[in-house]
Amino acid sequence: MIRLNLIPANKKEEIERADRLHQVFKWEVSMAFLIMVLFVILLSVYSIVRVNLQAVTSESGSANSGKYAQLKQYDEKLKEANDEVAIADKIQAGQFYWSELFNKINALISPGIKLAGINTQNYDVYLTGNADTRDNLMSFEEKLKGESCFQNVNLPISDLVSQTNVDFQIQFTIKDSCLKKQ
């Protein structure tokens, strides 16, 4: 079989261009179809994921709401406890510990001094007692004056008349900062 091509060259080019255009058009249609299929698949996956997310969110939201309510209750109880502790701290900060006074006086008393009584009025302290000798009493007075917590130590001169077996009454003021525990 013999083939003869009697079509002119320009017409051949036109046929080839038309054939290429037809092939490009086929490719474009097939690509558009694939893109449309992919778009539909992605859209369906998106809708499925969105439905699942809503289901999980509503389920976890109801479960978490109970936990959040419980955490809120614990938080409120913790705040109440902290408030009570703060009130107790304020009360303790303002509390005077008169035992501090006794400890300081006990540290200053020498063997020749016997205390008979301690009276307080506000921050004024009155010590009554007996000293073996006047020198022991004067030494005790000097120790009281040397203590930084005691001010205005007053030993009446009338208490220094006797040489031995001296009854005394010493008055002094204690600083309020010395009555608080550090």
Between CA 179 and CA 93 the distance in angstroms is 11
Identify the pLDDT of residue 50: 93
Main-chain phi, psi angles of 5, to 5 degrees: -110, 105
Cβ distance 123 to 176 under 8 Å? yes
10-19, 59-68, 96-105, 159-168: which range is least confident on average? 59-68
Identify the pLDDT of residue 159: 78
What one-letter code names the amino acid at 6? L
Q: Assign residue 165 a region: left if phi > 0, alpha if psi is -120 to 50, beta otherwise?
A: left
The pLDDT confidence band at residue 20, using thresholds 50, 70 and 90, is: very high
Q: Average pLDDT over the chain, rounded to whole?
A: 86
pTM of the model: 0.50
